[in-house]
Amino acid sequence: MSPDAMNSRRHVPSDPAFSEAWRLFRELHDAPSLQSAEKLVVWLGRDARHVRALDETLTLWALAGAAMVGSVPGDGSCQEPTLQ
């Protein structure tokens, strides 16, 4: 990539809602508990943007899982995905 192309890209700051959604999701995933679930539910109820951020988080999680499995649409050679 040319230096001009690199300089023309704008840096987009990270979305705090996405970061918090990611943190809360990982906390619930890594150590499931009623307390973790309640924190996520309360946070989701505070702002509609939080719901969108969690949706983006779950999409990223699903895409990363699909990439790790190596699935390609129409490729019958891949293994069945397992629940994470």
The tens digit of pLDDT for each residue in 14-67 reads: 899 999 999 999 999 999 999 999 999 999 999 999 999 999 999 999 988 877
The tens digit of pLDDT for each residue in 64-80 reads: 887 777 655 565 555 55
User: Rounded to an integer, what distance in angstroms lies between the CA atom of residue 29 and that of residue 24?
Assistant: 9
pTM given for the model: 0.64
Listed by start position, the domains of the chain span: 15-63
User: Rounded to an integer, what distance in angstroms lies between the CA atom of residue 56 and that of residue 59?
Assistant: 5
User: Rounded to an integer, what distance in angstroms lies between the CA atom of residue 38 and that of residue 44?
Assistant: 10
- Give me the amino acid identity at 67: A
How many residues are listed for the chain in this entry?
Answer: 84
